[in-house]
Amino acid sequence: MAGSVSTDKKLETTITTMLYVRRSAAAVDFYTRAFGALTVMRLDNDDGTVVAHLAIGKGDFWVAEESPVHQNFSPESVGGNSMHPVLIVDDPQAVFDHAVAAGASSICPVRDEDYGWRIGRLVDPFGHHWEIGRPLSEG
């Protein structure tokens, strides 16, 4: 059996996402510039591709090069998304504007919605859609 890890610490149940992209190294750079993502872990492959675990505030996500042989496709390959991250921040407009300045494109500007959120939607240069927002009240 290849190396195994044992720990007395009980893991908390959580969920995260993996974003498959083309140009994974550039994607990590974009998420760092656009959203202030911090690199938790990064593996650079000889072919220039990257697998990285990133964090924004208390949230985290992974970025990896698409791999059709494993049926892991980027939005560019499938022509759309089946999911998208929702980034919850204190100032959605500032984060939205910063991401657009870094290379994202606005789909829907930040605005107050009837369902109680201030939220906007953008698409990053790798085809992933992001909603940037916050609840209007905590009541």
Residue type at 121?
Answer: R
Which among 127, 59, 62 is positioned nearest to 95, based on CA atoms? 59
End-to-end CA distance of the chain: 52
| Rounded CA separation 128/17 (Å) | 12
Least confident segment among 2-6, 19-23, 46-50, 77-81: 2-6
DSSP 78-118: HTS-S---EEE-S-HHHHHHHHHHHT-EEEEEEEE-TTSEE
Q: 22-61, pLDDT tens digit by residue? A: 999 999 999 999 999 999 999 999 999 999 999 999 999 9
pTM exceeds 0.85: yes
| 126 within 8 A of 30, measured Cβ to Cβ | yes
| Rounded CA separation 128/83 (Å) | 8
* pLDDT at site 35: 98
Q: 21-33, pLDDT tens digit by residue? A: 999 999 999 999 9
Mean pLDDT on 106-122: 97
Q: Which domains does the chain have, with CATH numbers?
A: 18-135 (3.10.180.10)
Q: Quickly state the pLDDT bin for 4 (edges 50, 70, 90).
A: low
* pLDDT at site 19: 97
| Mean pLDDT for all residues in the chain | 93
Instruction: Quote the tokens at residue 119.
Output: 């939220």
